[in-house]
Amino acid sequence: MANIISYCMEAVADYLSPKLCVNCGTAIKLQSKSKFLCTTCFDWLKNCGNGYYNINGTHSLYPLNDVVRSLMHGLKYHGMTDIAIEMINVLPWEDTSFMGWGNKINIVPVPVNSARLRERGYNQAECIARAMQKKWGGRLFLGVLKRKKYNVSQTRLGAEERAWNAAGAFTARPPLPAEILLVDDVYTTGATTEACRYALMRAGAEKVEVLTMAYKLTDDGSSDWRKDWDYFKNKKVP
Partner 1 sequence: MNNNFKIQIYILPGLASAAGAVLGALLNSQSNIILLVALLSFFAIFWSNRVRIPFMLAFLICIFNIHSPRTSAFLPFKKVLKTEISGKINAVEHKNARTSLSIATARWGNLRLLYNPMDSVIVYPGDSITAQIVIHPLKRELNIPGNFNLRSWMHRQNIQGQGRILQAQIFPQKSFAKIIYQIRQYVLNTSTKYISNKTAGLVPALLTGDRSLLDRDISTSFRNSGLVHVLAVSGFHVVLIATILQILVQNLRLNKNFQRIFASILLFAYMFITGASPSVMRAVIMFISEQLTAILQRPVNSMQRLGIAISAIIIINPAAVWDLGMQLSCGATAGILISNMVSPLEKLKGFKKIIASSIWISFGATCGTLPILIYNFQNFAPLAWIGNLCVVPLISLAMQSGIFMILFSFSSQIAQVFASTTETLLSYSVIFAKLLSEIPGAKVTLGPWPQSITLIMIFTMLFLPLLLHKNHLKAKLLVSLGLACFGAYQGGSVIYHHLNPSAEIFFLDAGQGDCTILKFSHGKAIVIDVGNEANRGNYGVQQLAPFLRRNNIHQIDALIITHPHSDHFGGLESLLDEVKVQQIWIPWQARFCDNPFWQKALQKVQNLNIPIHDVYEGQKVIGLKPWNMKFLFPYINSPVNPADWNSISIVALLQYQNRDLSILPGDLGSKEEDQIMTTHQQIQSPILKLGHHGSHYSSSTRWLKALKPQIAIASAGYRNRYRHPSAKTLARLDSLLIPTFNTATDGSIFLKINAKDLRANPYLLNFTQITTHQ
Q: Which residues bind partner 1 (CB under 8 A)?
A: 11, 13-20, 22, 25, 27, 35, 78-82, 118-119, 121-122
In contact, 186 and 216? CB cutoff 8 Å: yes
> For residues 146 and 35, what is the distance between their CA atoms, to the nearest angstrom?
32
Q: How far is the CB of 212 from partner 1 (least distance, A)?
A: 22
- Residue 44 CB, nearest approach to partner 1 (Å): 19
When the beta carbons of 8 and 178 are compared against partner 1, the nearer one is 8
Least distance in Å: CB of 67 to partner 1? Answer: 16
The nearer residue to partner 1, 11 or 178, going by C-beta atoms, is 11
CB of 9 to partner 1, least distance (A): 10
Q: 47 or 155: whose CB is closer to partner 1? A: 155
Which burial class, exposed, middle or buried, applies to 59 when counting CB atoms under 10 A from its CB (0-12, 13-18, 19+)? buried
Q: How far apart are CA 104 and CA 207, in angstroms?
A: 14
- Pick 25 or 174: Cβ nearer partner 1: 25
Cβ-contact 194, 229 below 8 angstroms:
yes
CB of 48 to partner 1, least distance (A): 22
Cβ proximity to partner 1: between 74 and 168 the closer is 74
Tell me the CA distances in angstroms from 153 to 30, 158, 198, one per residue in order: 37, 12, 20
